[in-house]
Amino acid sequence: MTTIGIRRSSPPQAVQKIRDNFFLVQVSISESPTADWRRLFYDAQQDVQPEFPPRSVEISGTFLRFKSDPNTVEQKVGWIDRWIERANAKETSMAGRSSEMQRQKKEESARETQELAEWNGRWINL
């Protein structure tokens, strides 16, 4: 299965020491996410841990930042990877529904145009 959409593009890096054994950590992502994608990242998750909810991850441009002790960074990056995949999957399914709705609207409009033309043809000599 090919990953579609945003993906993590770097290993985690400690960017700031907050206090003893606690750091601000960031990972790079492949592109700056849209507002819709951000909403899906934050809200569409199932495997949320109370000690590390998606909202504790700051999305800034092409970086995701979170606070962590060194012992849980690997686990948190794993959760972030799953959340990214889920946001991508949800965004893809929403886009699919959107294009299907557009196709249906075009078909409906074409039928309506055809019906109007038929009626106008019948009434041409009235």
* CA 39 to mean position of chain CA atoms: 7
Task: Give the chain's residues under pLDDT 50.
Answer: 1-3
Interatomic CA distance for residues 49 and 64, integer angstroms: 17
Question: Whole-model pTM?
Answer: 0.72
Look at residue 32 in the predicted model and tell me its pLDDT: 93
Q: What is the pLDDT of residue 44?
A: 73
Identity at 4, one-letter amino acid code: I
